[in-house]
Amino acid sequence: MRKKYLINFLVYFTAATAFSLIAHLTVEWEFEIKKAVVQNIFVGIVFSWILTQSQVHKENKK
């Protein structure tokens, strides 16, 4: 069961980080690459954790 959540977390993390980085690049062309990557990874972690926890809560409620 935990393996399923880990896989979902990684999928959510990849999607959120990629989406955040693409959005960052389209809005602001000139930026420090290291700072942007760190910010986008943080955004990916936060959204992934939220989505995974909501899934855990939903399955525990059943």
pLDDT the model gives residue 28: 61
**What pLDDT does 61 receive?**
81
pLDDT tens-digit map of 24-57 = 776 665 556 667 777 777 888 888 888 888 888 8
- Which position has the higher pLDDT, 31 or 13? 13
Q: Indicate if the pLDDT at residue 11 is higher than 80.
A: yes
Residue with tokens 């977390």: 9
pLDDT of residue 19: 79
Rounded to two decimals, what is the model's pTM?
A: 0.59
How far is Cα of residue 55 from the mean position of the Cα atoms in its chain? 14
